[in-house]
Amino acid sequence: MGATIYAYIEYDDAPEYYPAGSVPEPFAQESDRVIDLTTNVGLSHAKDYVFLGAIGGPRNPKGLAPLIRPRGLPPNVNWRISKDFDPQDPMVGWLTPLEIEAALDHMEIRREELSFGLQVTLDLLQLLGDRLGPERVRFVFEMGD
């Protein structure tokens, strides 16, 4: 049996609907903008141990301390995510697209080393971050071993 990761992408698309200068702070309003990756076997069971290690999870083959350890659920998290993940679990966390890139750089991991499912997930995070702003996109996850 191996380590697994279950995740959601949560995003705040308020900039798409508010005029410039009146956009609320990121995740200030309740939103139902989530992409459920919890059943994506290409991500959850792909055995990307270097990625899991980079975001503070088990089976860290690099042996380096992660840049950011799992920190529970984010503020104002979507109700579907809070229903699925235990905020007290030490393997529950979240990262913005920029934090993920920094964590990968810290561990000297190139995207090409990761599974196809994870590369697609990172591409989607980047696309949303480029469109909405990286502070309006979060990768919320729970890892297990």
For residues 106 and 47, the answer to whether their CB atoms sit within 8 Å is: no
pTM of the entire predicted model? 0.92
With pLDDT > 90 as the criterion, what percentage of the chain qualifies? Answer: 74
Residue 1 pLDDT > 60, yes or no?
no
- Burial of 92 (C-beta count, 10 Å sphere; 0-12/13-18/19+): buried
pLDDT tens digits along 105-128: 999 999 999 999 999 999 999 999
Predicted local distance difference test score (pLDDT) of residue 2: 75
Taking the CA of residue 28 as centre, how many other CA atoms within 13 Å lie in the half-sphere pointing to its CB?
7
Neighbours of 79 (CB within 10 A): 10
Work out the average pLDDT over 35-48. 85
Predicted local distance difference test score (pLDDT) of residue 139: 97
Q: Is 113 helix (H, G, I), strand (E, B) or coil?
A: helix
- Sequence-ordered list of residues with C-beta below 8 angstroms from that of 61, at least 6 positions apart, any chain: 49, 50, 53
Higher pLDDT, 17 or 46: 17
Give the lowest-confidence range in 20-29, 54-63, 65-74, 79-88. Answer: 54-63
